[in-house]
Amino acid sequence: MSTARRSSAKFLSSGGRGGIEVGVTREQSDSDASTSADESQVVAKKRRTSSTARSKTAPKARKKLTDISRIMHMPMDVLFEIFKCVGPRDLIHLSRTSKTLRKTLMSKQTISIWKSALAMRDSPDCPDIYSYPRWADLLFGESFCQCCSAKGVQRADFGLGKRICSRCKKEALFPASKLKDRVDALVLDLIPHAIVGASSKKYYWIGDIQGMSKQLKGYQADVSLDKPGAKKALNDFITSRLVLVAQTTIAARNCKEWIVTHAETAKSEKLERKATRYQDILQRLIALGYDERDMVGLGSLSGWNTMRKAVEQYVCERRASRIGRERLLLDNSRKTVVTNVYKEFKASVVPATWAHHPADEVALRFDCFSALINDPSDLPLDVQRCRDVLKDLPGELDALNEEKTAVLLSLLVHSSEEARASVQRDAGAALDLATSIFACCGRHCRGIFVGWQYAICHRCPVSSHELRSETLISRIPDFRFASRASQAVQSLTSLLELDAWSTAVGDLDREDARFVCLACPCDIFIGIRGRKALSWRHCVTHAEESKHAQWQLLTPLEATEVKAREVSVRHHCTDDQEYRWSCNHCPRYLDNLKPRLFVNQHLQTEHGCSQPVEGKDFFYDRRYSKTLFDTVNFGEQVPVASGKIATRTAGGKGSIYHCMTCISLSGSSRAFELKGVISHIQAKHRVKTPKINQDFIGS
């Protein structure tokens, strides 16, 4: 007797990965047949433990358990009305709570409930090939893989009617091109397929292939045995399967657009919930006295009592950061006002005293100004209020310069017994001595200060990092006594038959003697083999920079010859050409110092000074040490052929020329041809028309 097989939207697959029922989820397949279990057994009893075991661990608070079986004692119409207010995912969860609830929600009487739940989420219509619970599970079910239970599978594959992870798809999905020779084409036509990626290739699930092959062979076996109705049963089965595949394909196509819309809706709902929760947290914090400006970046959290401590800590940190930023902006605006007023003050005093005024970053720390900047109020600084404190500024300036002088005197006293005695006799005269030489130990400072006036006016260069951190800015430079330079002056005055402890800086400048250091090796410079002829200022710099010094005084005749040659190499840069001069009659060059010639022209045209006098009409800014002129060698003249200059020829042909600027700056005696030296001077030293014996020399 042949058994007619019922056409159904479900077919069983045996063997292979994922041999599951197409229309049944992994949760539904466990207990549909058995519904007689008692609901009271939903919560399993705890295993009794011995008293010894209980005493080993601290007692834990037991979680309150609720017997949900009592819900089934409610009238069914009331229960159904409650279910109609529940979403599809919640209905799925309820159906897995107990066997009684599962049996109720899976009955035909609850179809309207499932329809209502799906309609609440604007879900696509349920195809005939799926039951409503199954369709709801595909759309809103848990994000677990039906094969390996992997988490994070957000979207179901509506072509296959399954929720499958990527790893399982790679293992159990095969393209039609690989199945042509191994699987009957009719089998592939009777099972649903998936479209993976952007291609139009069809992919088939191995479990579906195996299950369909088994069913089709059963029908074909009945036909081969000539069982009555076997052919009709086979044809009906094939027809029903073709219809199912077509409906599955249509349903999958219709769901694609819904998936995108649903994802956008879910995202917007999540953002809305987050915004609502954020506003709730905001109102709670405002009620506690916090500022809304400190809550920027606060995420949407749940459980106010749980998170309150962390949120308040976060808000307090943000508040401190905000107050710090606002205070920094306020302080910077106040500093700008103070700096402008300080500039106005300097413009009102005698220009020659500018060098005795500290830099802006130091002046901002004066008591009269810092009180305005650090005012605890949040009001901007009024310009007139800042001008009112200028009456206290001269006292602050005098105090600062007195502190600097005291530091220099202290260094002088501790330098030697002779210096101590000179300070005790007359402190002012002791600072004026040529032996009173100082230096700054600042990281960006170089050189020494010949004369205490230059030390008093010295400003340490300040980096941008130090400007941001005021603690790194020193009120008084880190002075030190230049002992080697001072000892060199003592030696020089001894050669000049002068008293080192009564000779001032101006006395040595008027002597204008020349010395050589016998400890230095001889070299050849501009045709002279010998050592550098140094002024006394060159000597103290040389002594401070080197660890050797053995001085010899040149005779007046020798010094005159050296000075004549110095003039010939002093063309490239002098103090007069430096941007360190200013007019003493107006504040025009307060922040824009100019060369001496430029200032003299200004005095003649603006102030009518036909013959300006240095120190009276114009001055050199003492914030900058004077530039030492170029030196020349003292010794014997060497023949060109045997000198260093003659050894560097340009190809060995024609006359050889040398750049005077390179010789004076670095001692380089590079040899050029005539065209080469002219091109070199024009390109490197920016001299348009180089002249022989002025810009270059021949040999």
Model confidence pLDDT, tens digit, residues 157-215: 888 888 888 888 888 888 888 887 888 888 888 888 887 766 678 888 888 888 888 98
Residue 334 has a CB neighbour count (10 Å cut-off) of 21
At residue 201, the pLDDT reads: 80
Q: Which amino acid is at 449?
A: F
Last residue of a domain, one of 227, 249, 270: 270
pLDDT of residue 172: 86
Residue 435 placed within a domain: no
Amino acid identity at 659: C
| Contacting residues for 599 by C-beta, under 8 A, at least 6 apart | 581, 582, 583, 589, 612, 618
Residue 189: inside a domain, yes or no?
Answer: yes
- The secondary element (H helix, E strand) that includes residue 169 is helix 166-172
Average pLDDT of the residues in 315-339: 90
pLDDT on residue 3: 39
pLDDT above 80 for 632: yes
User: How far is Cα 126 from Cα 246, in angstroms, rounded to an integer?
Assistant: 15
Report d(CA 400, CA 475) in Å as an integer: 8
pLDDT bucket at 357, cuts 50 / 70 / 90: very high
pLDDT digit string, tens, across residues 7-42: 333 323 333 333 333 333 334 433 333 333 333 333
**Residue 7 falls within a domain, yes or no?**
no
Percent of the chain with pLDDT over 90: 22
203 domain residue, yes or no: yes
Q: What's the pTM? A: 0.52
Q: Among 235, 270, 305, where does a domain finish?
A: 270
> Quick check: 599 and 576 in contact, CB under 8 A?
no
Q: Kindly tell me the burial class for residue 685, based on how many C-beta atoms sit within 10 Å of its own C-beta (0-12, 13-18, 19 or more).
A: middle
Mean pLDDT of 244-264: 82
Q: Give the number of domains in the chain.
A: 2
Cβ atoms < 10 Å from Cβ of 33: 6
| pLDDT higher than threshold 70 for residue 68 | no
pLDDT of amino acid 52: 45
pLDDT of residue 656: 76
Q: For all residues of the chain together, what is the average pLDDT?
A: 80
Q: What is the pLDDT of residue 108?
A: 86
Domain-located, residue 228: yes
Residue with the two structure tokens 């905000």: 322
Return d(Cα 290, Cα 316) in angstroms, integer.
8
pLDDT value, residue 586? 94
Does the residue 326 lie in any domain? Answer: no
pLDDT reported for residue 295: 67
Q: Where are the beta strands (DSSP E) in 206-358?
A: none
Query: Is the pLDDT at 592 greater than 50, yes or no?
Result: yes
Residue 658 φ/ψ, nearest 5 degrees: -135, 140
Q: Which residue has the higher pLDDT, 8 or 226?
A: 226
Tell me: the pLDDT tens digits for 429-469? 899 999 999 999 887 787 788 888 888 898 888 777 666 66
- Phi, psi at 207, each rounded to 5°: -65, -40
Please give the pLDDT value at position 330.
93
Range of the domain at 83: 69-270
DSSP string, 553-595: EPPHHHHHHHHHHHHHT--S--GGGSS-EEESS-STTSS--B-
Domain-located, residue 343:
no
The pLDDT value recorded for residue 298 is 60
Better-scored residue on pLDDT, 676 or 568: 676
> 345: exposed, middle or buried (C-beta count within 10 Å: 0-12, 13-18, 19+)?
middle
Q: Is residue 538 domain-resident?
A: no
What is the C-alpha separation between 314 and 92, in angstroms, rounded? 39
Average pLDDT (323-347) is: 92
Last residue of a domain, one of 228, 253, 270: 270
8 A C-beta contact, residue 289 and residue 319 = no
* Virtual torsion, Cα 686, 688, 689, 692, nearest 10 deg: 0
